[in-house]
Structure 1
Amino acid sequence: METSAHSLAHASRADRANDDVIRRNAVTVTGRADAPTIVFGHGYGTDQSTWRAVAERFSDDHRIVLFDYVGSGGSDISAYDEQRYDSLEGYADDLIDVIEAAGGEPVVFVGHSVSGMIGALASIRRPDLFSRLIMICPSPRYLNDGEYIGGFERDDVLELLAAIETNQPGWAASLAPAVTAREDLPEVSERVRNLYANTAHRVATHFARVVFFSDTRHRLSEITVPTTLVQSVGDIICPPHIGGYLKQRITGSELVQLDSAGHFVHLTDPALVAEQIRRAL
């Protein structure tokens, strides 16, 4: 009787913990309940809504998990802790929590931009939770470092951080067209501008510093989960040669070059991105 009561209490605590994660990260689960699970992770300054046009294409034959990193979208902003989120490891902790709370592991994780590296870090710690990583426009380091060309000088990043600090709306308006790189799709640029501008200022400044000064190059050899790298052309955040750099350092990884420009290919070309995800499954 005592064992049964103890088990029930333990299960109750686990359920409450999972409920807390679901609420904290605004987790939404759709699609087929009995099908393999795909988890989509968003990049800096955006939220889970950026994945919906892609995710809905898998709802008939997959279970879909969308979520917001703490500080983004519909997440619990009160849970944002600068100490916890002072490195990408804090976000990897959140991703592990989300996968365990939502269930369905091992999952395919699709991560845009910095989410690719967050997924990589989470998979190194818990490879049992992942069946595949699919990274969309990822970069292990954004700063140039000797022969390594990440795309940004330190002074460039300091200027970017100062712009967010002093005039976030203006910064968002100037950066959005450059990162989307699709003059033929002004509605996408406007959507990205709104997302950037409406991110809580406290989060926008701190998360940008964490992202742009992150460096996961030394961890790439530890990735054991099968990995697909999807790289666009004309991406100022993640230059095209970064895909080749990652392929050389992630054992057994596959590199796909998209015939699409910009950093937000899942917004500008959702059908093309969905095609590559399905091909990798």
Structure 2
Amino acid sequence: MSVLQRNNVRVLGKPSDPVLLFAHGFGCNQSMWDSVASAFIGNTYQILFDYVGSGQSDLRCYQFERYANLQGYAQDVIEICDALGLERDVIFVGHSVSCSIGALAAVARPNLFREMIFLGASPCFLNDPPHYSGGFDKDDLEGLLALMNQNYVGWAEYLAPVVAGPDNNPEIAGELSNSFCSTDPVIAQHFARATFFADNRDDFAKVTVPSLILQHQDDVLASVAVGEFLHKQLKHSQLKILDVAGHAAHMSHPGLVITAIQDYLKERDIL
């Protein structure tokens, strides 16, 4: 089976145009980017995909050893680019855990990427006092995983509104909940552990690719303080705070994300 089939890769536009690769967050799929991606049709070459185990990817390709940590997903990103014949100038646009995955890919293959755009990034969800506040103690995260194991639907119904944000359209929370529930529970728990117990703080410090950090103003999963930490870690970065509550501005406030990306790419003489 080809990599493009494995990851349900969808491409739009001409390869000669600037390349945007959209990477979704945990429990999500490529369709979460549709509202943002549609704004770039006509002047970019867009790549959307599903991580193995998510969306419409081929579940037969899921390997528990490979995806026990985020390096396996970073390898997927690189393999997708290789399968499409991309050798440089890829603009990576990642949400949530995909920011860490993208950082790992950029460290492994820095010449592949031209820009990194991170939305709702958190290099480590665990608190590490007194130097770092990721937002959660270990017991909090173990409790979340225990809930997944005991009541998967209940877990999805709890987490979806948190990601969507308190003031957002219930349809967004419903879309997120449906996406969570459509994922195989065993695979979801495996991906959750790889996501929530990862510590990629040092990896972000190794990224040399210019980066835009988009952080939500009120986000229990990735605070402004985390964005400020990343801004210090990333050598060539800009930090922009979006006036959004929740963890998924690309779904709840796509216009803000579109404008931020467009402004950044114009400033970088890409669009």
Whether the TM-score (by the shorter chain) exceeds 0.5 is yes
Structure having the higher Rg: 1
Instruction: Rate the CA distance shift 1:26–1:279 in 2: closer, same or farther, 3 A.
Output: same
Assess if the C-alpha contact under 8 Å between 1:111 and 1:136 holds in 2.
yes
Matches within 5 A, 1:36-115: 36-104=18-86, 105-115=88-98
Q: Which amino acid aligns with 1:211?
A: T
Query: Structure 1: 5+ residue runs without aligned partners?
Result: 1-18
Q: Which amino acid aligns with 2:229?
A: Y
Of 165, 168, 193, the match for 2:177: 193
Assess if the C-alpha contact under 8 Å between 2:212 and 2:264 holds in 1.
yes
CA distance in 2, matches of 1:126, 1:201: 32
Instruction: Rate the CA distance shift 1:121–1:184 in 2: closer, same or farther, 3 A.
Output: closer
User: What's the TM-score once normalised by structure 2's chain length?
Assistant: 0.94
Q: How many equivalent residue pairs?
A: 263
CA distance in 1, matches of 2:232, 2:17: 33
Assess if the C-alpha contact under 8 Å between 2:27 and 2:179 holds in 1.
yes
CA distance in 1, matches of 2:151, 2:81: 36
CA distance in 2, matches of 1:75, 1:238: 27
CA distance in 2, matches of 1:103, 1:49: 24
Superposed displacement of residue 183, structure 1? 3.1
Superposed displacement of residue 203, structure 1? 1.2
The SS at the match of 1:85 is helix
Matches within 5 A, 1:156-175: 156-175=140-159
Superposed displacement of residue 34, structure 1? 2.6
CA distance in 2, matches of 1:68, 1:178: 22
Assess if the C-alpha contact under 8 Å between 1:113 and 1:139 holds in 2.
yes
The SS at the match of 2:63 is coil
CA distance in 2, matches of 1:258, 1:211: 23
CA distance in 1, matches of 2:49, 2:256: 22
User: What's the TM-score once normalised by structure 1's chain length?
Assistant: 0.91
Q: Deviations over 1:20-42 (max 9, x none)?
A: 00000000001234311100000
